[in-house]
Structure 1
Amino acid sequence: MLVIELEELDKKRIRVLLEDGESFVLYRGEVKNYSIREGEDLPPAQYGEIRSEVLTKRAKKRAMHLLEKMDRTEAQLRAKLKQGFYPEDIVDEAIAYVKSCRYLDDARYAENYVQGQKGRKSQRRIYMDLLGKGIPKSLITQALEEGYQAGQEQELILKWVQKKGYSSSKADLKEKQKMYQSLLRKGFHSDDILHVLDYLT
């Protein structure tokens, strides 16, 4: 495999670019130890050793470290590892490893997120948040169904309008429309908003 470029990322790390478009990052000392030079071939046996003994182990360790700092979704962890220029198949292997250790679990992440946010955000807002974090739709739906009971959305709306000092008996049409639009932007369903504004305030 021909090495077409050695790109210095910083004082310690060098990105090795190969002729097939793949690349990986090594420390400067590792590049020297493996005698990797621009314009020269990287022997298959040596490349295999770098992948298995250096990159794969490092990717797994990096994944563990990232999850120790904070809980992440699979999509978030995958993006972080790709920033380190790990080859795609090595990223897959690192992801599989932390999953097998149960350090990475999108279903658990979704459940915890719902429990932590349901008293402050609407179901729709939580759904969009989790979707943006790369959680599969099926897991989001499951977490919301298990995390919410009937009427909880209306309770949250009521809590919000009371905090704002809204009263249907005192509010005119303009104030009601303003409150309605505000709650709609927060992701609450129209039927729940109208029920609270008309009957519970």
Structure 2
Amino acid sequence: MAKITKIATQKRAGRYNLELDGRFAFGISENVLAKFGLMKGRELTKEEIERIKEADLVDQGLKVALNYLSPALRTEKQVRDRLKGKEIKAAVIDSVIDYLKSQQLLNDASYAKAYVQTKQVFSPKGPRAIAMELKKAGVSELLIDDALANYQEESQLAVATKLAEKIARTHRRDSTRIRQQKTAQALVQKGFSFDIATAAINQIDIASDEEDEQENAQREAEKALRRQRTGTAKERYYKVKSKLYSKGFSAETIESVLEQLDFGQDDER
């Protein structure tokens, strides 16, 4: 048996030093102090001392976990990884996780459903990308499927359409065909199916008007011509023409633009 001869506050708020038989034994939190009803003069067995020490380790781990959980929901894997990063023992981590689950502070199902809802509004993504991110966060496939069940095709199309409008604006200097391709590619990369991406593009007015298409082609042609510093005029002509075709412009637009460019005096087309 060991007798508590002194309980003194530490500089750290909520922490106390415990002296047993006149010697410093270990530090404990205020929660553990209250939980075990510790006070000066009480005698403790070796088993009680070990339980107190273990409880303090769990309490410290719990504080780390709660601080990590305070700004946002987390998965069990994310919390475990954070605790491991703090070099907390596996047994202590298990106790912390069990407590958090019992208090409904850690719930992968709730996390997955909230994540799916958030990704429909903020930083929009399709179901495939969301599923990959949830899997990476440690959520089981069963819970992922359950959460995504509420992300129906109608909602996917609405989200994808808004995203398509934004993406298309960033490619307004491209030809209509390339603009469509880049928008579709971006939507697929965001986790939407090709069918949803196509349907979203069909929902918006992505085609450039004739004047814009002409200006875009003119800009690309002049840029391509500036890069052709060698070769005959005929070679430069066909290289620029090939570049415009690769950029998705129509034959009619290309011919119109090429007629306005100066390829040199030896131009033989």
TM-score (norm 1): 0.67
**Which residue of structure 1 aligns with residue 199 of structure 2?**
195
* 1:135 has 2:139 as partner: yes
% identical equivalent positions: 30
Shift of the alpha carbon at 1:106? 1.1
Give the secondary structure class of the aligned counterpart of 1:33.
Answer: strand
Question: For each residue in 1:103-128, what CA deviation from the matched residue of structure 2 results, as whole angstroms up to 9, or x when unmatched?
Answer: 11111111111111113221122222
Count of matched residue pairs: 161
Q: Distance in 1 between matches of 2:47 and 2:87?
A: 21
* Alignment root-mean-square deviation, CA: 3.0
Which ranges of structure 1 fall in alignment gaps of 5 or more residues?
Answer: 1-26, 36-43
**Which residue of structure 2 aligns with residue 158 of structure 1?**
161
**Which residue of structure 2 aligns with residue 3 of structure 1?**
none
Amino acid at match of 1:125: A
Question: For each residue in 1:154-174, what CA deviation from the matched residue of structure 2 results, as whole angstroms up to 9, or x when unmatched?
Answer: 2222222233359xxxx6433
Give the secondary structure class of the aligned counterpart of 1:80.
Answer: helix
**Which residue of structure 1 aligns with residue 100 of structure 2?**
98
Indicate the structure (1 or 2) with the bigger Cα radius of gyration: 2
Question: For each residue in 1:76-109, what CA deviation from the matched residue of structure 2 results, as whole angstroms up to 9, or x when unmatched?
Answer: 1111111222211110011000110111111111
Distance of aligned partners of 1:106 and 1:162 in 2 relative to their CA distance in 1, 3 Å threshold: same
Shift of the alpha carbon at 1:50? 6.1
Distance of aligned partners of 1:183 and 1:59 in 2 relative to their CA distance in 1, 3 Å threshold: same
Q: Distance in 2 between matches of 1:200 and 1:70?
A: 35
Q: Distance in 2 between matches of 1:47 and 1:136?
A: 39
Give the secondary structure class of the aligned counterpart of 1:121.
Answer: coil
Which ranges of structure 2 fall in alignment gaps of 5 or more residues?
Answer: 1-14, 27-45, 205-269
Q: Which runs of 4+ in 1 moved over 4 A?
A: 44-47
Q: Which moved more, 1:103-112 or 1:187-196?
A: 187-196
**Which residue of structure 2 aligns with residue 33 of structure 1?**
24
Distance of aligned partners of 1:68 and 1:186 in 2 relative to their CA distance in 1, 3 Å threshold: closer
TM-score (norm 2): 0.51
